[in-house]
Amino acid sequence: MTNIGFYVTFAILILVVVTIAKGVRLVPQGEEWVVERLGKYQCTLRPGLNFLIPYLDRVAYKLITKDIILDVQEQEVITRDNAVILTNAISFIKVTDPVKAVYGVTDFSEAIRNLIMTTLRSIVGEMELDEALSSRDKIKARLRESIADEAVDWGLTVKSVEIQDIKPSPSMQRAMEMQAAAERERKAMVTRAEGEKQSAILEAEARLEAARRDASAQVTLAEASAESIRRVTAALGTEPGPMLYLLGEKYISSVQKLAASENAKLVLLPADIQETIGGLIGKISRFGGTA
Confidence of residue 268 (pLDDT cuts 50, 70, 90): low
Closest to 71 in 3D by CA, of 98, 110, 105, 30: 110
Strand order through the sheet with 40-45: 40-45, 31-37, 57-64
Closest to 46 in 3D by CA, of 35, 56, 38: 35
Specify the pTM: 0.56
Strands 48-51 and 57-64: unpaired
**Residues β-bridged to residue 50:** 25
- The answer to whether 164 and 88 have CB atoms below 8 angstroms apart is yes
How long a stretch of residues is the chain?
A: 291
Confidence of residue 11 (pLDDT cuts 50, 70, 90): confident
Confidence of residue 18 (pLDDT cuts 50, 70, 90): confident
Greater confidence, 243 or 226? 226
d(CA 124, CA 118): 10
Cβ atoms < 10 Å from Cβ of 211? 10
d(CA 119, CA 143): 7
Q: What DSSP letter does each residue of 3-29 carry, written as one string?
A: HHHHHHHHHHHHHHHHHHHHHEEEEPT
**Residues β-bridged to residue 57:** 37
d(CA 187, CA 218): 46
Q: How many CA atoms within 13 Å lie on the side-chain side of 136?
A: 13
- The answer to whether 153 and 72 have CB atoms below 8 angstroms apart is no
| Residue-wise pLDDT tens digits, 26-36 | 899 989 999 99
d(CA 30, CA 93): 14
| Residue-wise pLDDT tens digits, 139-190 | 888 888 888 888 888 999 988 888 888 888 777 777 766 777 788 888 888 8
pLDDT at 289: 46
